[in-house]
Amino acid sequence: MINKIWRSIRSQNTTTFSPENFDPFAQDFIATPYPVMAEMIQQGPFRCPNGSWIISSYSDVAQCLAEPTLSNTPSPYAVVNSRNKERYRCADVANKILPYLDAPYHTAPRKILTQQFHGQWHTSESAIKNSMQKYFPTLQCHRHGDILSDFATPVCVEVILKTLGFSNPTEADISQIKSWSEWFFYLFSIIPNETTRKELDAQLAAFHHYCKSEIINARKKNGFIATLLSNEGDIKQFPIEILTENCMLLIADACNADYAIANAVNLYLQYPKFSQGLSSPDIHLNKAADEILRFDSPSLFIARRTLSELKIGDHCIPANQGVLLMLAAANRDPRVFDNPQHLDITRQHNPYLSFGKGEHSCIGRKLVRTLISETLATLLACNAKITLTAPPQWDLRAGHRWLKSLPVKFR
């Protein structure tokens, strides 16, 4: 019954696309982006009323991700621009983390961080299995609950803390760390007002204090921190303050992977052919995870800024312009993906861009992919019937495709 209601809602949620009126931060677009994106791909680059340039086709987005004239540094008009780093903690943090640094300043630190993070893969993989075996049976035993808050969130928090070598979290710790992670992502979105900015600064200060304390303790344990700090060359790249801010980044990225898990479970429950197809011996769960990340990416778009004039096809974008790269639209470009509006776990050619591409691609790509594939394996092994108890509701935060919750029941 819930599925029928939700399909009815989806069929009514069709937004007419017009470049002259398009607002990437509008609630109706964030809630139902894909019909608009399908038209947007055919439009080509355009400038929307808020001044941002919209790039949506696969080839254009891929070009921009590799384009040195597009900067990751905050816009001069952004609250987190470097001019404010002495005034606001959010600006200070933003200008110390890798996503906001351009080459060559981010190249060596990113290489170190990536190598050390991936070097802990055996720890991460073991933590994923152990955490899922801990939280899913508990959720099933209760017969009803929220996939997001009762399963995906605690799994993601435990996994990243174990990988880093931080202390095992209590239930209260998990809730607090998740809250900090959501606040942290305001660094990559619009800070709507001064009240939010002040609260963001307070939350970042508390998050920083927690991470710095844990880093000091983690030096004596096994994990990412101990390994990184045992190398003198790595220490030079990551003095304690820089390391602390980038650990905040790693935690926030990993904790917000719970939305990717929730999206996967949502698709599993709403597309019977998809869930039935997963049990085929010919299906690889990692490839199914890739298709989920293509079809319903937790990231709708990311922002860049032109350092000089940028030519995209027949369009010239002037210097110092905001550019929004529509990753979720590129993932459904029919010139690259056959039948892109179809969820196809047998898809062979799947170069999706949900994690970006190139020097600024997501360090945690393998972690997120494995979290989803292990979630699918857990669902397949479940001997109970799982159903939604309410239609999914989306958190209307610009640039993201995040569920507010995913309530289910087992029977």
Cβ-based neighbours of 269, under 8 Å, separated by 6 or more: 3, 275, 386, 387, 388, 408
The string of pLDDT tens digits covering residues 322-375 is 999 999 999 999 999 999 999 999 999 999 999 999 888 999 999 999 999 999
* Whether residue 56 has pLDDT greater than 50: yes
- Minimum mean pLDDT among 16-25, 129-138, 247-256: which range? 16-25
Percent of the chain predicted with pLDDT > 90: 83
Q: How confident is the model at residue 15 (pLDDT cuts 50, 70, 90)?
A: low
Note whether 306 and 317 are within 8 A (CB).
yes
Give kind and range of the element (H or E) at residue 394: strand 393-395
Note whether 309 and 319 are within 8 A (CB).
yes
In sequence order, what DSSP letters do the residues of 233-284 get, joined into one string? HHHHH--HHHHHHHHHHHHHHHHTTHHHHHHHHHHHHH-HHHHHHTTSTT--
Q: Does some domain include residue 30? A: no
SS3 405: strand
The domain that holds 171 is classified in CATH as 1.10.630.10
The string of pLDDT tens digits covering residues 150-163 is 999 999 999 999 99
Q: Does some domain include residue 358? A: yes
pLDDT value of position 355: 96
Which domain does 105 fall in, by range?
88-302+336-410
Domain count within the chain: 1
Q: Does some domain include residue 81? A: no
* Whether residue 238 has pLDDT greater than 90: no
Query: In the numeric block, which tokens belong to residue 217?
Result: 């303790």
Query: In the numeric block, which tokens belong to residue 171?
Result: 């239930």
In sequence order, what DSSP letters do the residues of 113-164 get, joined into one string? HHHHHHTTHHHHHHHHHHHHHHHHHHHHHTSEEEHIIIIIHHHHHHHHHHHH
Query: Average per-residue pLDDT in the chain?
Result: 93
Q: Does some domain include residue 46? A: no
Q: What is the mean pLDDT of residues 102-124?
A: 93
SS3 55: strand
Q: What is the mean pLDDT of residues 173-192?
A: 95
Q: Does some domain include residue 20? A: no
Q: Does some domain include residue 323? A: no
Angle between helices 121-141 and 365-381 (to 10 degrees): 40
Q: Does some domain include residue 200? A: yes
Q: Does some domain include residue 52? A: no
Note whether 13 and 32 are within 8 A (CB).
yes
- Minimum mean pLDDT among 81-90, 205-214, 251-260, 394-403: which range? 394-403
